[in-house]
Chain A
Amino acid sequence: MRKISILTLITSLFVSSFVVANEVNVFNARHYKADGELYSKFTNMTGIKVNLINGKSGALEKRIISEGADSSADLYITADAGRCGSMDAKGTLQGGLTSAAIKSAVPKNFRTSKWVGIAKRARIIYYSPERVTGAELSGMTYEGLADPKWKGRLVIRKSSNIYNKSLVASLIKNNGKAATVAWAEGVVANMARTPTGNDRAQIMAVAAGEADIAVANTYYLALMLSGKKGPEQQAAAKKVKAFFPNQNDRGTHMNVSCAALVKGAPNKANAIKLVEFLLTPESQEHFTNNTFEFPMIDGVSPSPLVVNNLGLDFKQDMKTKLASYGKNQAAAVEVMTAAGWK
């Protein structure tokens, strides 16, 4: 009797996963509250239920790959084009994100047929206006981070971080691997400390006087200025200014949060609908006001906090295809490790 009841219990545990429903399954590595709000809105509008499995990108990717053709995943949403690119390279994605709505919304270099950018960010330089002069910064580029004049003045996070991998991948794409090796060595020589902490910690290191310049993504400063991180960090953010590098050549390094269509997606049509929904002006506005990213589409303005404090009028790198971040990722890791970038 007991055995039967245990068996029933165990059986009942997984029966639910076989029920067919109007849904879309999202493997989600972006965990902003704002995203959740958008998914609920999508469900209310279309009746399509959004099932989420939240996790770190590595583990989610492994699960999608292991599940193979039987994977329940429809969309993989993550915060770096390098990740979408490497999933594509592993043959786990399929084409299909090619509807007119998507193509007209997203510029060509920010999408492929298998994945598209849903929100933009730039990886830029933050500096202390007290300790860095305008002359020092004039014409500053990513390449210039290796200049010996920054010795002991630079902070940037670890080489294992995906944003750094993608930045270095873009440098390899533009300058070649040999030049990038020399560059990485220069950067390591300039570091004010062994890399530690997240992007926000780099900005705070400049505010606190541990370093003069930092490399970090755009939305972090806005996040601190918003007061969502408390009054101390709000005050700290005001001690730091943003600088957009490479304005005189290819433009500032851009990256995206991307949505990728998984091979064998059981709800492909719904997945495409969700991506289109995320690219509507309403959704884009919701992103920009809550996560402080740049909008993917034209006609939507970034959050006033971003516009007023970071500026809007900068040249974006529209030349380097984001697909190259995934392709050059292994080389980027090799370059940074060889340079002793922790």
Chain B
Amino acid sequence: MRINFWYISSFLISFFVIIPILTVFSSFFENTSNYYQVLKDTFLLEYVLNSLILLLSVLILTFLIGTGSAYLVSFFEFPFSNFFKWALILSFAVPPYIYAYSLTAFFENYGTAYTILKNLFGEANYNQSIPKFDGLFGVILSISFSLYAYVYILARASFLYQPQNLIDLGKNLGFTKLKTLYSIILPAARPAIVAGLSLVAMETLAEFGAVDFFSINTLTTGIYNSWIAFDDLAFANQLSFFLLLFIFALFILENLSRKKARYHMDSRGGFKQKRKIKLSGGKSFMAFMFCFLIFFLSFLFPLSQMMYWTIKFPENLFDLQIMTLLTNTLYLVVLSSLVLIIFALISNYGNRVTKNKTLNILSTLSISGYAIPGVILAVAFITFIAWFDESVIKTYGFLSIKKVFIGSILGLVIVYFIRFYSLAFNGIKSGYEKINISVDESSYLLGYSKRKTFMNIHIPFLRNSLLFVFILISLEIIRELPITLILRPFNFETFATTAYISASEDLLEAAAVPSLFLILIATSFIIVTSKYILRDKNE
């Protein structure tokens, strides 16, 4: 084992990310219970059940929506199929909490649906006949319509790389389209679909905004509440044990599927552009309707509800300091993605050149931050800094460091870093896997130093991966709520925090304007870079 700059820096980065994750779990083994056991048992069952129902329902819905639409746009030609190909990822721009606001706004008593009916058919009490999408059902819809794009993107990418001869094989065997789908296409795409679903699962378990808005108790909000409202670490402990079990299972699943995915993806030698089947008549209409419905429900519906409110209550538009919010949002996005990308690059390169087992395990662990809900990470960070300050810094007579880390941009970026490091690390890793190691060897033979190889050869090769990672992180940070909410400095708001705060004060109309801007910014990010997300052309 050679110890050098690359080894040390990758080691330090991974180690740094792991510390708070360890703090989260170690703090759960303290005992400070002062809360009633009977109640806890009641709650515990409710939290576990809610989380399970939520998780399973969202997985089923996102699987059906994501895989279904990916199948249609990958294998068939129908009106607007090329438009839907990228339009279906726009749902990424609508975070679950904004979807929840839209659902409530539209379906509540005397809401938008009522107004529409009243304008169409005149005054009457329509409230009783308008369905109510709130509670657990509301949360399920909000998360599913926002997150199915994970499944869509990965399933579609996998469909795209499926060799045409495999599908021809099905045809030769006399399979129907449905049989080809079940027996050939889906099994071959399984690793990609599982990878997408496990991302959805992690996001669902970590979801805070929508769950909090409908005040549904899940494991995550349960941990947060027992920790924050009752200072009851023992109960938080129990809850997080269950959450940990969930996440652990997902994590293993995701890693397994990733390994398989690589195996499947490699059969790219015989790649040829797939021939899409042209649909006509009723089938073409059905395919169009399916995609349109999803596009409408996931994107047009929340967008138009927010627009409608912005127009209906225009005073909220003028009350908002849009330029400041925009600058703050973009500032966080650019700063955090830069930091994340630079450090993930260094760490990846360190892994590549040292080929060290310890380092490899450490970096695998360090990406588990993504599995920990942001709200818990943020509170753990504050707890850790407070402890470190009291028991280390002050013991040696230094000035308190709390203000440096709590309520500062620095602290915010650090926690974003821990949470989203896996996105950056894995994104760049998959890019690196495409650069053959012999490229490095040739470079050394030509007398290039490690640094020069990194700067002059790897970086240009990785350009597309880097861009992709940048977009992913940006979208996450634009939508991010709990970490920003808990750790941001004085007088510092983003579109997400402004929307959330208005909504939590029963000022949903006022939440519409920041929500609308959030959707528009995220949408423009997606549109500008959609070709990198969809990766149509073989890189």
Closest residue of A by beta carbon distance from B316: A33
**Chain A nearest CB: distance from B223 CB in Å?**
12
In the complex, whether B491 has a CB less than 8 A from a CB of chain A is yes
CA distance A236 to B215 in the complex (A): 25
In the complex, whether A61 has a CB less than 8 A from a CB of chain B is yes
Q: Which residues from 8 to 63 on chain B have a C-beta closer than 8 Å to any C-beta of chain A?
A: 35-36, 38-39, 42-43
Q: Which residues from 373 to 415 on chain B have a C-beta closer than 8 Å to any C-beta of chain A?
A: 379, 382-383, 385-386, 389-390, 400, 402-404, 406-410, 413
User: A232 touching B114 by the CB < 8 A rule?
Assistant: yes
Which of B134, B342, B404 touches A197 (beta carbons < 8 Å)?
B134
User: A63 touching B485 by the CB < 8 A rule?
Assistant: no
Chain B residues in 8 Å Cβ range of A210? 109, 127-128
Of the candidate stretches A169-177, A200-208, A280-288, the one touching chain B is A200-208
In the complex, whether A182 has a CB less than 8 A from a CB of chain B is no
CA distance A57 to B128 in the complex (A): 34
Of the candidate stretches B175-183, B349-357, B421-429, B501-509, the one touching chain A is B501-509
Chain A residues in 8 Å Cβ range of B114? 232
Q: Which residues from 264 to 281 on chain A have a C-beta closer than 8 Å to any C-beta of chain B?
A: none
Which of A31, A160, A209 touches B501 (beta carbons < 8 Å)?
A31
User: A58 touching B504 by the CB < 8 A rule?
Assistant: no
User: B228 touching A59 by the CB < 8 A rule?
Assistant: yes
Q: Which residues from 46 to 62 on chain A have a C-beta closer than 8 Å to any C-beta of chain B?
A: 51-56, 58-59, 61-62
Chain A residues in 8 Å Cβ range of B118? 232
Chain A residues in 8 Å Cβ range of B228? 58-59, 61-62
Chain B residues in 8 Å Cβ range of A220? 506
In the complex, whether A321 has a CB less than 8 A from a CB of chain B is no
In the complex, whether B245 has a CB less than 8 A from a CB of chain A is no
In the complex, whether A67 has a CB less than 8 A from a CB of chain B is yes
Closest residue of A by beta carbon distance from B385: A66
Which of B109, B231, B485, B509 touches A55 (beta carbons < 8 Å)?
B485
Q: Which residues from 217 to 276 on chain B have a C-beta closer than 8 Å to any C-beta of chain A?
A: 217, 224-225, 227-231
CA distance A203 to B505 in the complex (A): 16
In the complex, whether A315 has a CB less than 8 A from a CB of chain B is no
Given A204-B108, A204-B109, A204-B110, are A199 and B506 neighbors across the interface (CB < 8 Å)? yes
Q: Which residues from 156 to 203 on chain A have a C-beta closer than 8 Å to any C-beta of chain B?
A: 158, 160, 194, 196-201
**Chain B nearest CB: distance from A128 CB in Å?**
12
User: A51 touching B490 by the CB < 8 A rule?
Assistant: yes
In the complex, whether A337 has a CB less than 8 A from a CB of chain B is yes
In the complex, whether B364 has a CB less than 8 A from a CB of chain A is no
Chain B residues in 8 Å Cβ range of A18? 403
CA distance A159 to B489 in the complex (A): 32
Chain A residues in 8 Å Cβ range of B389? 70
User: A17 touching B386 by the CB < 8 A rule?
Assistant: no
Q: Which residues from 337 to 361 on chain B have a C-beta closer than 8 Å to any C-beta of chain A?
A: 342
Q: Which residues from 69 to 94 on chain B have a C-beta closer than 8 Å to any C-beta of chain A?
A: none
User: A56 touching B485 by the CB < 8 A rule?
Assistant: yes
Chain A residues in 8 Å Cβ range of B403? 14, 17-18, 70, 72
In the complex, whether B125 has a CB less than 8 A from a CB of chain A is yes
Chain B residues in 8 Å Cβ range of A235? 110
Chain A residues in 8 Å Cβ range of B509? 229-230
| Contact-residue size bin, chain B (C-beta under 8 Å from the other chain) | 35 or more
Chain B interface mostly: helix
**Chain A nearest CB: distance from B313 CB in Å?**
8
In the complex, whether B329 has a CB less than 8 A from a CB of chain A is no
In the complex, whether B486 has a CB less than 8 A from a CB of chain A is yes
CA distance A220 to B42 in the complex (A): 32
Which of B386, B486, B504 touches A67 (beta carbons < 8 Å)?
B386
Given A17-B403, A62-B379, are A31 and B507 neighbors across the interface (CB < 8 Å)? yes
CA distance A196 to B111 in the complex (A): 16
User: A66 touching B386 by the CB < 8 A rule?
Assistant: yes
Given A59-B486, A204-B110, A209-B128, are A14 and B491 neighbors across the interface (CB < 8 Å)? no
User: B485 touching A233 by the CB < 8 A rule?
Assistant: no
Chain A residues in 8 Å Cβ range of B125? 208-209
In the complex, whether B207 has a CB less than 8 A from a CB of chain A is no
CA distance A158 to B60 in the complex (A): 29
In the complex, whether B537 has a CB less than 8 A from a CB of chain A is no
User: B506 touching A194 by the CB < 8 A rule?
Assistant: no
CA distance A10 to B109 in the complex (A): 49
Closest residue of A by beta carbon distance from B338: A6
Which of B407, B493, B504 touches A63 (beta carbons < 8 Å)?
B407
Give 1 or 0 for each of A141-153: 1 = CB within 8 Å of chain B CB: 0000000000000
Number of interface residues of A (CB under 8 A): 56
In the complex, whether A68 has a CB less than 8 A from a CB of chain B is yes
Q: Which residues from 499 to 539 on chain B have a C-beta closer than 8 Å to any C-beta of chain A?
A: 501-502, 504-507, 509-510
User: A54 touching B493 by the CB < 8 A rule?
Assistant: yes
User: B134 touching A196 by the CB < 8 A rule?
Assistant: yes
Q: Which residues from 263 to 317 on chain B have a C-beta closer than 8 Å to any C-beta of chain A?
A: 312-313
CA distance A210 to B173 in the complex (A): 59
In the complex, whether B135 has a CB less than 8 A from a CB of chain A is yes
Which of B42, B410, B493 touches A14 (beta carbons < 8 Å)?
B410
Which of A53, A66, A201 touches B109 (beta carbons < 8 Å)?
A201
User: B408 touching A208 by the CB < 8 A rule?
Assistant: no
Among B132, B224, B319, B407, chain A packs the most CB atoms within 10 A around the CB of: B407
In the complex, whether B115 has a CB less than 8 A from a CB of chain A is yes
User: A58 touching B134 by the CB < 8 A rule?
Assistant: no
Q: Which residues from 92 to 141 on chain B have a C-beta closer than 8 Å to any C-beta of chain A?
A: 108-111, 114-115, 118, 125, 127-128, 132, 134-135
In the complex, whether A246 has a CB less than 8 A from a CB of chain B is no
In the complex, whether B488 has a CB less than 8 A from a CB of chain A is yes
User: A198 touching B38 by the CB < 8 A rule?
Assistant: no
In the complex, whether B497 has a CB less than 8 A from a CB of chain A is yes
Given A25-B490, A54-B493, A337-B39, are A72 and B407 neighbors across the interface (CB < 8 Å)? yes
User: A207 touching B134 by the CB < 8 A rule?
Assistant: no
In the complex, whether A298 has a CB less than 8 A from a CB of chain B is no
User: B383 touching A66 by the CB < 8 A rule?
Assistant: yes
User: B110 touching A236 by the CB < 8 A rule?
Assistant: yes
A sample of 19 inter-chain contacts (CB < 8 A) reads A32-B505, A53-B488, A53-B489, A53-B491, A56-B504, A58-B224, A59-B379, A62-B227, A63-B406, A66-B385, A67-B386, A67-B402, A68-B402, A70-B403, A90-B231, A230-B509, A232-B110, A337-B42, A338-B39
Q: A14-B410, A232-B114 are in contact. List 12 more A-B contacts (CB 8 A).
A: A32-B505, A53-B490, A56-B501, A58-B225, A62-B486, A66-B406, A160-B225, A200-B506, A201-B108, A204-B109, A210-B109, A333-B39
* Chain B residues engaging chain A, CB cutoff 8 angstroms: 35-36, 38-39, 42-43, 108-111, 114-115, 118, 125, 127-128, 132, 134-135, 214-215, 217, 224-225, 227-231, 312-313, 319, 342, 379, 382-383, 385-386, 389-390, 400, 402-404, 406-410, 413, 485-486, 488-491, 493, 497, 501-502, 504-507, 509-510
**Lowest 8 CB-CB distances: which A-B pairs, in order?**
A208-B127, A51-B490, A204-B109, A208-B109, A58-B228, A232-B110, A66-B386, A66-B382
* Chain A residues engaging chain B, CB cutoff 8 angstroms: 6, 10, 13-14, 17-18, 25, 30-33, 51-56, 58-59, 61-63, 66-68, 70, 72, 90, 158, 160, 194, 196-201, 204-205, 207-210, 220, 228-230, 232-233, 235-236, 330, 333-334, 337-338
